[in-house]
Amino acid sequence: MMVLEKISAVIDDMPGIHGSGTYRIADRDLKIIEQYVRKDSVTAETGAGLSTILFAIIGCRHTAIAPSREEWVRIQEACRRHNISPQNITFLDESSVDALPRLPIGSFDFCFIDGCHGFPVACMDFYYMSRMLKIGGILGIDDVPIWACKIVVDFLHREEGWKYLVTGDKSAFFSKHLEDQESREWDSQPYNAKMTKKNLRGTSFLKAFALIPQRSHKLIRLISEGDYGAISKRLKRLLNR
């Protein structure tokens, strides 16, 4: 049976891996992973579930990290029911922020972020997985609409060291093309620099408006007199302080 047929059979008989249900990756995202990952790939994911079963079907050397032994037991049960061998899966029953720093740098072909979607964990998963990947390796980020995931995706879209590949139903995929990108300063990161500029503009306005109450009587007089030239000059002076 082909990989996609096998995973469809698991979906038809979906076990509740995450308790009562399975918060699984979407069908298109599964297909994208199946296209990029080969049997001889070295892969890792944060979070576990249907995606872990997909990696088991492909048969690659895979590390799944989730702080839940029960999930691993349910994944193994599902594999047994469907005649899938989980022998190439290493399951690390701990938080990704503890496990990822121990994994080897520059040795993974494919990494997938779908563990804790809170801030800063999703960003920390990105930090560690970006250094774990080989040059040419692929990073997938699931649940892109969640803000902690979206900032990673927005950041990668503007990075020279990463190439955007594709977006599925909920996941975006990029390939890595430069080493040692993780610890660069903010002003050499296009997205960080752009957002900082935007924030600084916002700060000047906030500063001006914070000062307005001190001079509100003068401003109110100018407004009532319709002296918009003087109002504009006064605001410009405040903004330049």
Q: Which residue is nearest to ligand SAM (CB)?
A: 49
Q: Which is nearer to ligand SAM, 35 or 216 (CB)?
A: 35
Q: Per this entry, what is the length of the chain? A: 241
Q: Which is nearer to ligand SAM, 94 or 154 (CB)?
A: 94
d(CA 225, CA 229): 11
Write a three-state SS string for 129-165.
Answer: HHHHEEEEEEEEECCCCCHHHHHHHHHHHCCCCEEEE
Q: Which of 41, 43, 51, 171 binds ligand SAM (CB under 6 A)?
A: 51
Q: Which is nearer to ligand SAM, 70 or 179 (CB)?
A: 70
- Contact call for residue 121 and ligand SAM (CB under 6 A): yes
d(CA 138, CA 159): 14
- Contact call for residue 7 and ligand SAM (CB under 6 A): no
d(CA 87, CA 84): 9
Q: What are phi and psi of 64, to 5 degrees?
A: -110, 135
Query: Residue count at the site for ligand SAM (CB under 6 A)?
Result: 22
- Contact call for residue 43 and ligand SAM (CB under 6 A): no
Q: Which of 59, 86, 115, 137 binds ligand SAM (CB under 6 A)?
A: 115
Tokens matching residue 200: 């600084």
Site residues (vs ligand SAM, CB under 6 A)? 18, 22-25, 46-51, 65-68, 71, 95-96, 114-116, 121
